[in-house]
Amino acid sequence: MEARIKKSVRITALATAALLALAACSGEVQVGEVQVTDADAAVAAPAGLVSSTALSYGVAATFPPFEYKDGATLTGFDIEMAEALAGYMGLKVAPLDIDFDGLIPALKGGRIDLINSAMYINDERSEQVDFVPYMVIGEALLVLNGNEPDIKNLPEDLSGRTIAVTRGAIGETYMVAFNEELEAEGLEPMEILALPTNQDALLAVKSGRADAFDTSTPGAAYTLTQTEGDFEVAATFELGTQIGMAVPQGATEMKAALEEALALFVSGGAYEKLIVKYNLPSESSIFN
């Protein structure tokens, strides 16, 4: 399991410099439903972008409330945040919507400038990419209302059950670790049903193919508001996992630019407004 990470971060000296630059500017711009200050490109755009006029990012748009589709339109916390961060650099956005397990290969292959897809920060990923953290979340197991499988204590109550996960997401890693604990205790392991998207995993529970579905705590809260009482949270765990934007290893200029823009986004109040808009728990912020 990943070590828990403290919920506070410091604004870097570079970010402070960006704040001073912002103070000298005026005007406002609308980003989604969030009003942010027009920094007049207060943050210098990094060199070597895929496009000189846009911030190109990879996203797997199947993880509400962070990224999902409203019809054919990308929406969610991360989508609006990316528009604001790019705006601070004087850039547009160019999202590439692909499967989650294709995001790191796309970044390493130079197809995108960064990954902006609520990516959980763990040791394995940190060996491949560098992260700019922006939120802390946990995990939840969703079951049909009534919790017929009677899942309360983890991992014991998962023994012999079928648990749906999103293929390549951190939930799959957690379930594998739980199985190791179950086997060490002499208990029958669970069957891990890895599916392409969150929606597929949720449908597996609804259709009876799986007993529970692993998702993030924000994702669980969003699901409960969209499914008219069909589901409930059986258990939560790993509260304190950071998520972040990912850049190529050693891309110090890109990382610094994102950190500066993120500091502006937070200090101007737009970050907090998006947390409220998408019904995320207040403790999700790492900037408190």
DSSP 240-253: EEEEEEEEETT-HH
DSSP notation for 75-93 = ESHHHHHHHHHHHHTT-EE
pLDDT score at 4 = 37
Residue ranges for the chain with pLDDT beneath 70: 1-41
- The CA-based angle 228-230-236, given to 5 degrees, is 110
Alpha helices for 111-216 (secondary structure H): 123-126, 170-184, 198-206
pLDDT score at 26 = 37
- Report helix, strand or coil for 212: strand
CB-CB neighbours of 186 under 10 Å: 7
Using omega within 30 degrees of 0 as the cis cutoff, is the peptide bond preceding 196 cis? Answer: no
pLDDT score at 10 = 39
Report the candidate in 51, 57, 49, 50 with the shortest Cα–Cα distance to residue 74: 57
Two structure tokens written together for 156: 């014991």
pLDDT score at 30 = 52
pLDDT score at 121 = 95
Instruction: Domains for the chain: give ranges and CATH numbers.
Output: 13-135+243-284 (3.40.190.10), 138-240 (3.40.190.10)
pLDDT score at 200 = 95
φ/ψ (deg, to 5) at 287: -110, 10
pLDDT score at 283 = 77
- 176 vs 14, 163, 202, CA distance in Å? 40, 11, 19
pLDDT score at 168 = 87
